[in-house]
Amino acid sequence: MCNSNLNCRLTGSLFFESNVNVVNSEFISSKYRGAFIGRYSYINPGGIIRDCFIGRYCSIGRRVSIAAGQHPYHYLSTHPFSSSCLSPKSSITKKELEKSVLPEGKNIKATVPLTTIMHDVWIGDGAVIVKGVKIGVGAVVGANAVVTKDVPPYAIVAGVPSKILGFRFRNHIINELLASEWWNLNHEIIVNNIPAKNIIESLEKLKELIQKNNSGQEKEDIFLFTN
Protein backbone atom coordinates (compact mmCIF):
# COMPACT_ATOMS: atom_id res chain seq x y z
CA MET A 1 0.00 0.00 0.00
CA CYS A 2 1.45 3.36 -1.03
CA ASN A 3 0.01 5.93 1.46
CA SER A 4 2.32 8.60 0.03
CA ASN A 5 1.61 12.23 -0.80
CA LEU A 6 3.66 13.54 -3.72
CA ASN A 7 2.77 17.16 -4.41
CA CYS A 8 5.70 17.98 -6.65
CA ARG A 9 6.87 18.97 -10.10
CA LEU A 10 8.81 16.14 -11.71
CA THR A 11 11.25 15.93 -14.60
CA GLY A 12 12.36 12.33 -15.06
CA SER A 13 11.64 9.47 -12.67
CA LEU A 14 11.14 9.24 -8.92
CA PHE A 15 11.19 5.95 -7.01
CA PHE A 16 9.74 5.91 -3.51
CA GLU A 17 8.58 3.70 -0.67
CA SER A 18 5.33 4.07 1.27
CA ASN A 19 4.38 6.93 3.61
CA VAL A 20 6.50 9.54 1.85
CA ASN A 21 5.32 13.15 2.00
CA VAL A 22 6.56 15.76 -0.50
CA VAL A 23 5.03 19.26 -0.47
CA ASN A 24 5.45 21.73 -3.36
CA SER A 25 8.96 20.67 -4.35
CA GLU A 26 10.69 19.94 -7.65
CA PHE A 27 12.54 16.77 -8.66
CA ILE A 28 14.85 16.80 -11.66
CA SER A 29 16.60 13.61 -12.75
CA SER A 30 19.10 13.29 -15.56
CA LYS A 31 19.00 10.54 -18.16
CA TYR A 32 21.83 8.83 -16.27
CA ARG A 33 20.31 8.96 -12.79
CA GLY A 34 17.03 9.19 -10.90
CA ALA A 35 15.75 9.97 -7.42
CA PHE A 36 14.71 7.69 -4.57
CA ILE A 37 12.94 8.48 -1.27
CA GLY A 38 12.68 5.99 1.59
CA ARG A 39 9.62 5.44 3.76
CA TYR A 40 8.44 8.03 6.28
CA SER A 41 10.74 10.71 4.85
CA TYR A 42 9.22 14.11 4.15
CA ILE A 43 10.21 17.22 2.22
CA ASN A 44 8.77 20.65 3.03
CA PRO A 45 7.83 23.26 0.38
CA GLY A 46 10.30 24.88 -1.99
CA GLY A 47 12.79 22.05 -2.34
CA ILE A 48 14.77 21.46 -5.54
CA ILE A 49 16.22 17.96 -5.70
CA ARG A 50 18.30 16.36 -8.46
CA ASP A 51 19.68 12.84 -8.93
CA CYS A 52 19.76 11.68 -5.32
CA PHE A 53 19.08 8.88 -2.87
CA ILE A 54 17.14 9.93 0.24
CA GLY A 55 16.91 7.26 2.93
CA ARG A 56 14.19 6.47 5.46
CA TYR A 57 12.92 8.77 8.23
CA CYS A 58 14.56 11.90 6.79
CA SER A 59 13.27 15.37 7.66
CA ILE A 60 14.01 17.97 4.99
CA GLY A 61 13.16 21.62 5.61
CA ARG A 62 11.84 24.37 3.36
CA ARG A 63 13.74 25.63 0.29
CA VAL A 64 16.43 22.97 0.48
CA SER A 65 18.57 22.46 -2.63
CA ILE A 66 20.05 18.99 -3.13
CA ALA A 67 22.57 18.32 -5.93
CA ALA A 68 21.91 21.56 -7.80
CA GLY A 69 23.20 21.84 -11.35
CA GLN A 70 26.81 22.87 -11.76
CA HIS A 71 28.42 24.95 -14.49
CA PRO A 72 31.52 23.76 -16.39
CA TYR A 73 34.26 26.07 -15.15
CA HIS A 74 36.91 24.35 -17.33
CA TYR A 75 35.13 25.44 -20.55
CA LEU A 76 35.55 28.80 -22.27
CA SER A 77 32.63 30.19 -20.26
CA THR A 78 30.56 29.05 -17.31
CA HIS A 79 27.50 30.17 -19.29
CA PRO A 80 25.41 27.24 -20.63
CA PHE A 81 26.24 28.17 -24.24
CA SER A 82 29.63 26.51 -23.73
CA SER A 83 27.95 23.15 -23.30
CA SER A 84 27.14 23.25 -26.99
CA CYS A 85 30.66 21.97 -27.55
CA LEU A 86 29.22 18.50 -26.95
CA SER A 87 26.88 18.78 -29.91
CA PRO A 88 27.55 17.00 -33.23
CA LYS A 89 28.24 20.38 -34.85
CA SER A 90 31.20 21.03 -32.58
CA SER A 91 34.74 21.01 -33.91
CA ILE A 92 35.83 19.03 -30.84
CA THR A 93 34.50 15.55 -30.19
CA LYS A 94 33.22 14.32 -26.85
CA LYS A 95 36.18 11.92 -26.66
CA GLU A 96 38.68 14.72 -27.31
CA LEU A 97 37.00 16.90 -24.68
CA GLU A 98 37.18 14.15 -22.06
CA LYS A 99 40.86 13.61 -22.83
CA SER A 100 41.66 17.31 -22.42
CA VAL A 101 39.75 18.16 -19.23
CA LEU A 102 39.03 14.95 -17.29
CA PRO A 103 41.38 12.59 -15.38
CA GLU A 104 42.57 9.51 -17.24
CA GLY A 105 40.01 6.73 -17.33
CA LYS A 106 37.05 9.03 -16.65
CA ASN A 107 34.25 10.00 -18.98
CA ILE A 108 31.49 12.58 -18.96
CA LYS A 109 28.73 10.12 -18.13
CA ALA A 110 30.66 8.72 -15.16
CA THR A 111 31.16 12.20 -13.71
CA VAL A 112 27.43 12.61 -13.01
CA PRO A 113 27.60 11.82 -9.26
CA LEU A 114 24.82 10.47 -7.09
CA THR A 115 24.11 12.57 -4.02
CA THR A 116 23.27 10.43 -1.00
CA ILE A 117 21.22 11.40 2.04
CA MET A 118 21.28 8.41 4.38
CA HIS A 119 18.59 7.45 6.92
CA ASP A 120 17.34 9.65 9.79
CA VAL A 121 18.94 12.83 8.43
CA TRP A 122 17.55 16.25 9.37
CA ILE A 123 18.27 19.10 6.94
CA GLY A 124 17.31 22.61 8.05
CA ASP A 125 15.57 25.30 5.98
CA GLY A 126 17.52 26.83 3.11
CA ALA A 127 20.42 24.37 3.17
CA VAL A 128 22.36 23.58 -0.02
CA ILE A 129 23.79 20.10 -0.55
CA VAL A 130 26.38 20.08 -3.34
CA LYS A 131 26.22 17.37 -5.99
CA GLY A 132 27.99 14.12 -5.11
CA VAL A 133 28.06 14.66 -1.34
CA LYS A 134 27.14 11.84 1.05
CA ILE A 135 25.41 12.73 4.32
CA GLY A 136 25.74 9.92 6.84
CA VAL A 137 23.03 8.26 8.91
CA GLY A 138 21.57 10.42 11.66
CA ALA A 139 23.37 13.62 10.64
CA VAL A 140 21.96 17.11 11.21
CA VAL A 141 22.51 19.95 8.72
CA GLY A 142 21.87 23.45 10.04
CA ALA A 143 19.63 25.98 8.32
CA ASN A 144 21.24 27.80 5.36
CA ALA A 145 24.36 25.61 5.50
CA VAL A 146 26.27 24.86 2.29
CA VAL A 147 27.51 21.28 2.44
CA THR A 148 30.46 20.70 0.09
CA LYS A 149 32.01 17.60 1.69
CA ASP A 150 30.78 14.26 3.02
CA VAL A 151 29.24 14.37 6.49
CA PRO A 152 29.97 11.52 8.96
CA PRO A 153 27.11 9.62 10.66
CA TYR A 154 25.40 11.54 13.47
CA ALA A 155 27.50 14.67 12.88
CA ILE A 156 26.01 18.14 13.35
CA VAL A 157 27.17 20.57 10.66
CA ALA A 158 26.46 24.23 9.93
CA GLY A 159 27.95 27.25 8.15
CA VAL A 160 29.21 28.27 4.71
CA PRO A 161 30.95 26.05 3.85
CA SER A 162 29.63 23.72 6.52
CA LYS A 163 31.84 22.51 9.35
CA ILE A 164 31.33 19.84 11.99
CA LEU A 165 30.14 21.42 15.24
CA GLY A 166 29.79 18.17 17.14
CA PHE A 167 28.01 14.83 17.19
CA ARG A 168 24.59 13.83 18.45
CA PHE A 169 25.96 11.01 20.60
CA ARG A 170 29.21 9.52 21.86
CA ASN A 171 31.10 7.09 19.63
CA HIS A 172 29.96 3.88 21.31
CA ILE A 173 26.30 4.90 21.01
CA ILE A 174 26.76 5.88 17.36
CA ASN A 175 28.35 2.50 16.62
CA GLU A 176 25.48 0.65 18.30
CA LEU A 177 22.86 2.66 16.42
CA LEU A 178 24.55 1.99 13.09
CA ALA A 179 24.83 -1.72 13.89
CA SER A 180 21.14 -1.92 14.84
CA GLU A 181 19.93 -0.57 11.47
CA TRP A 182 16.70 0.33 13.28
CA TRP A 183 15.32 2.10 10.18
CA ASN A 184 14.79 -1.32 8.59
CA LEU A 185 12.50 -2.51 11.39
CA ASN A 186 8.74 -2.68 11.12
CA HIS A 187 7.38 0.80 11.79
CA GLU A 188 4.68 -0.39 14.18
CA ILE A 189 7.25 -2.24 16.27
CA ILE A 190 9.38 0.91 16.51
CA VAL A 191 6.44 3.12 17.51
CA ASN A 192 4.93 0.69 20.01
CA ASN A 193 8.04 -0.78 21.62
CA ILE A 194 10.96 1.64 21.45
CA PRO A 195 11.16 4.46 24.07
CA ALA A 196 12.50 6.94 21.51
CA LYS A 197 13.00 9.83 23.97
CA ASN A 198 15.69 7.94 25.91
CA ILE A 199 18.59 6.83 23.73
CA ILE A 200 19.99 4.35 26.29
CA GLU A 201 16.62 2.66 26.76
CA SER A 202 16.09 2.72 22.99
CA LEU A 203 19.32 0.81 22.40
CA GLU A 204 18.54 -1.71 25.12
CA LYS A 205 15.11 -2.40 23.65
CA LEU A 206 16.54 -2.66 20.13
CA LYS A 207 19.06 -5.26 21.31
CA GLU A 208 16.30 -7.19 23.04
CA LEU A 209 14.10 -7.22 19.94
CA ILE A 210 16.96 -8.26 17.67
CA GLN A 211 18.09 -11.04 20.03
CA LYS A 212 14.56 -12.41 20.14
CA ASN A 213 14.46 -12.23 16.35
CA ASN A 214 11.29 -10.22 16.77
CA SER A 215 12.51 -7.19 14.91
CA GLY A 216 10.23 -7.76 11.95
CA GLN A 217 12.35 -6.20 9.22
CA GLU A 218 10.00 -4.42 6.88
CA LYS A 219 9.96 -5.39 3.22
CA GLU A 220 8.80 -2.40 1.25
CA ASP A 221 7.29 -2.17 -2.18
CA ILE A 222 8.97 0.46 -4.32
CA PHE A 223 6.73 2.70 -6.42
CA LEU A 224 7.59 4.67 -9.55
CA PHE A 225 6.39 8.20 -10.28
CA THR A 226 7.28 9.53 -13.72
CA ASN A 227 6.18 12.37 -15.97
Active site members: 71
Alpha helices, DSSP H, located in the chain: 94-101, 171-180, 187-193, 199-211
Nearest-CA neighbor of 47 among 123, 139, 147?
A: 123
| Cβ-contact 52, 37 below 8 angstroms | no
Strand (E) positions, the chain? Answer: 5-11, 13-16, 21-28, 35-37, 42-43, 48-50, 52-54, 59-60, 65-66, 115-117, 122-123, 128-129, 134-135, 140-141, 146-147, 155-158, 163-167, 223-226
In single-letter form, the type of residue at position 141 comes to V
